[in-house]
Amino acid sequence: MASDLQSSVSKDGQTREGVAPGWLKVGVVAAASGILGGLAAAWYYRKTLAQLRGADSDEAAHTDSHASEERDYDI
């Protein structure tokens, strides 16, 4: 017959097999929170981001026009 100590150890071993460690659960929740937070911020600031992208492309087009003018001159 098994003693109380042995039976409690065997019961704990059987129940812990299917349970993920606590740090893994915290890591998954933190990663999901970070991803969802980033998506929410991008959605909230979508107009500002679009304006910045448009300003960047306008500057690039403006810079290219100056560069082509400078290429015409030989020194």
CA distance 30 to 37: 10
Mean pLDDT of 13-41: 87
CA distance 22 to 48: 39
- Category of 59 on φ-ψ map: left (φ > 0), alpha (ψ -120 to 50) or beta: alpha
Q: What is the pTM of this model?
A: 0.45
pLDDT higher at 49 or 41: 41
Where residue 16 falls among pLDDT bands split at 50, 70, 90? low
